Structure 1
Amino acid sequence: MPANGQMKTAEGTQIRSVAKALMIIDYMASVQGELPLAKIAARLGMAKSTAHGLLATLKDFGYIEQSPFTGNYKLGMRLFEIGNIVGNSLDVRTVAVPYIQQLVGEIEETVHLAVLDKGEVLYIDKRESHQSLRIVSQVGMRLPAHCTGVGKALLAYLPESELKRVIAAKGLPRYTKQTITEAQKLGNELRQVKERGYAVDNEEIMDSLRCVAAPVFDHSGRACAAISVSGPVARLAKERFELAVTSVTRAAADISAALGYRPAAVGSDLLGT
C-alpha cells in the first residue's frame, strides 16, 4: 500500500481509513443495537487499536454514540439527520429526468415512468420522440397493472399476499387477445420478470403495441417505480427489441443507483489492517 494510505481500486483511488470507517457504519447498521469494540474489530478483521481510533473519530462527528454504562457503541443521530435530508431530496421523478431524456434519444420511442398506486399503474412522467407512436397515455393517467410493462415490472416484486389482494380487487380484465387473464399464468409471467430483470407487454393492452419495462429500486431495495420503452411491434423487433431491453434495464439500474440502491455489499478486500 502507498505510504499516503491510499489504495487503487477499479473505481479509482480510495482512502483506506475512510473505507474502514464506512465499513464500521455499514456493519453496525446491519446488526443494529449496541456492539462492543472487540466484536466490531473481530468482525471487520481490524486491530482493536485501529477500530478504536476510527470509532472515536466517528463519535466526535456524531456518527457513532458510546454508552456511558457499558462502553458499547451504536449508530449516532447524525446518520438519522443525514438520512432524512437525503431521503427528502430523492424524488424518483426528479432523479429520473436525465436518464429518461437519454433513453428517448437513444431508442427514439416513447418512454414512461410509473409507480404502482392502489393496485394500478400511475404514470408520473412521459416523453416522446419525433417518430414515436402516439400512445393514449399521459402523466396522471391510471392503467391496469397486469397488462402493462411497467405494471408487470412492479407486480413481480410484490409479496405474494399483496399480489393476491391486487388481483382480487382489480381482477384481470381482457383488453386484447394477448391479455393474460388467468392468475396462475400471470404468476408464472411475473416469476420470469424477476428472473430476467425486465417485463414485456406484447400487445396486451393495445394491439400493435409492444413495451419493455424494468423496475427501479430505492435505497431500501423496494421496487418504487418502473421505466419503460413503448413502440409499434414492427419497430420494437429483433435487434431493436434487444436494444430496448439493454437500454431500459441500464436506465433503471442507473436511476436505482442514483436513489441509493446498492444490490451488493462493499468488497471485503478493504478490511485489511
Structure 2
Amino acid sequence: MYSQTMLTEKVPIRSIAKALMVIEYLASCQTEVPLSNISSKLKMSKSTVHGILSTLKQYGYIEQSSFTGNYKLGIRFFELGRIVASTWDVRAVSGPYIQKLLERTGETVHLVVLDKGEVLYIDKRESNQSLRIVSEIGSRLPAHCTGVGKVLLAYLPKLEMQRIITTKGLPQYTKNTITDPLKLEEELKAIRERGYAYDIEEIMENLSCIAAPIFDYSGKAIAAISISGPSTRFTAVRLEEIKPILIETAAEISTSLGYRR
C-alpha cells in the first residue's frame, strides 16, 4: 500500500501522495518507528520525511515519543475513524445494492441484524412474481432456523453463540428445523467455512432461502442478506444460480462499510 509505484502513477499533488505513503507505512508497523526506518523503507530523503512528519504532528495526526524520538500515528486518526464509522448506517449503505440484487434475481431480498438473540428485519425488497414472501420490516424471527439467523450465529464468538442457543432454545417449526444443539453447532461451523447458509423449509413449509454475512470495517458480521422464495421455485439448480450473485452483493456492501479481507 505504501510502495514506490504510487509515485510513478499520475498523481496531481506528489507531496500528498508521499504523506499518505508515510501514514500507510506507520499504520502497517503498528508500533513506534524511527525516522531513518521510514526514510529507508519508502526510499525518501530524511529531510522530506521529517518535513512530512512535522506537518502531520502539528495537526495531531502523528505523535513523537519524548523518550525515543520515534513516530507513530496520532489520536486524530482514531477520532476521525469514529466519525466515519458513525456515518456508516448499514441500512442506508445496503439499500442500492439490495435493490440491484432484486432486479438481477427477481426474488425477494431481506436485510437483517441480530438483536437480543433474534433476527430483526430492517429492510426488504419484494419480488413481483406470483408467489411472494409474506414478511415485514421490523418483524422478528428465531435465529436457529433462518438462513440469515444461522449466518449471524455462525460468526459470533463461540460462547456468545452458545449463550443465545441456551437462552432462546431450539423450538421446532417444521420437520427440517435443527433442534439438537450439537447438530446446530456443526451446521454453523460449515457455514463459516463456506461463507453462506441455506434455510430449506426450516422455519416454514415451502419456504427456502440462501443468506450471506455483511462485515463492517472491524471484520465483525453486523448484518446479513438473503434471497427467499417458495421451495417450488427455489430448486437446487435455482439456488446455485443465485448463490454467486448473493455472495458478490454481500461482499460489495461489506467493502462499502470499510471491510478489507
Structure 1 unaligned blocks of 5 or more: 9-14, 264-273
Aligned mates of 2:189, 2:45 — CA distance in 1:
46
TM-score (norm 2): 0.87
Name the CA distance, whole Å, in 2 between partners of 1:26 and 1:234: 52
Q: Indicate the SS of the match to 1:234.
A: coil
**Contact 2:132 2:230 (C-alpha < 8 Å) held by counterparts:** no
Q: What CA distance in whole angstroms lies between the structure 1 residues aligned with 2:245 and 2:214?
A: 13
Residue number in structure 1 paired with 2:134: 136
Change in CA separation of 1:174 and 1:4 when aligned onto 2, cut-off 3 Å: closer
More relative contact order, 1 or 2 (CA 8 Å, 6+ apart): 1
**Do 1:110 and 1:132's aligned partners in 2 also have CA atoms closer than 8 Å?**
no
Letter in 2 for 1:194: R
- In the aligned structure 2, how far is the partner of 1:66 from the partner of 1:60? 11
CA contact (8 A) 1:236 1:244 kept: no
Distance 1:107 1:163, change over 3 A: same
Structure 2 segments unaligned to the other structure (5+ residues):
11-15
Query: 1:60 Cα shift?
Result: 4.2
Which range moves more in the overlay, 200-209 or 81-90?
81-90
2:13 aligns with: none
Q: The residue matched to 2:245 in structure 1 has which SS?
A: helix
Aligned twin of 2:68: 70
CA pair 185-56 structure 1, distance change in 2 beyond 3 A: same
The within-5 A match list for 1:178-257 is 178-257=176-255
Distance 1:205 1:147 in 2: 5
1:124-163 per-residue CA deviation (whole Å, 9 max, x = no partner) reads 1111021163323211111000110100110111111111
TM-score by length of 1: 0.83
Identity, % of aligned positions: 56
Q: Which residue of 2 aligns with 1:270?
A: none
Report what 1:21 is aligned to.
22
The alpha-carbon deviation at position 86 of structure 1 amounts to 0.7
RMSD: 2.6
Cα distance in 2 for partners of 1:2, 1:202 equals: 51
Q: What's the CA shift string for 1:186-212, capped at 9, x where partnerless?
A: 111111111111010011001111111
Does 1:82 find its partner at 2:80? yes
Q: Look up the match of 1:55.
A: 53
Contact 1:37 1:48 in 2 (8 A): no
Alignment length, in residue pairs?
A: 253
Report the counterpart of residue 258 of structure 2 in structure 1. Answer: 260
Instruction: Give the deviation of 1:66 after TM superposition.
Output: 1.7
The letter for the 2-side match of 1:130 is: N
Secondary structure, aligned partner of 1:225: strand
- Distance in 2 (alpha carbons) for counterparts of 1:2 and 1:86: 28
CA distance in 1, matches of 2:214, 2:148: 10
| 2: CA distance, partners of 1:238 / 1:203 | 13
Shift of the 132–150 alpha-carbon distance from structure 1 to 2, 3 Å rule, reads: farther
* C-alpha displacement of 1:220: 0.5
- Give the aligned partner of residue 11 of structure 1: none
Counterpart Cα distance in 1 of 2:118 and 2:130: 24
Q: Secondary structure at the match of 1:261?
A: coil
Deviation string for 1:206-257 (max 9, x for gaps)? 1111111000000000000001000112222244212221111111101100
Aligned counterparts, 1:170-185, within 5 A: 170-185=168-183
Q: State the AA in 2 paired with 1:117.
A: D
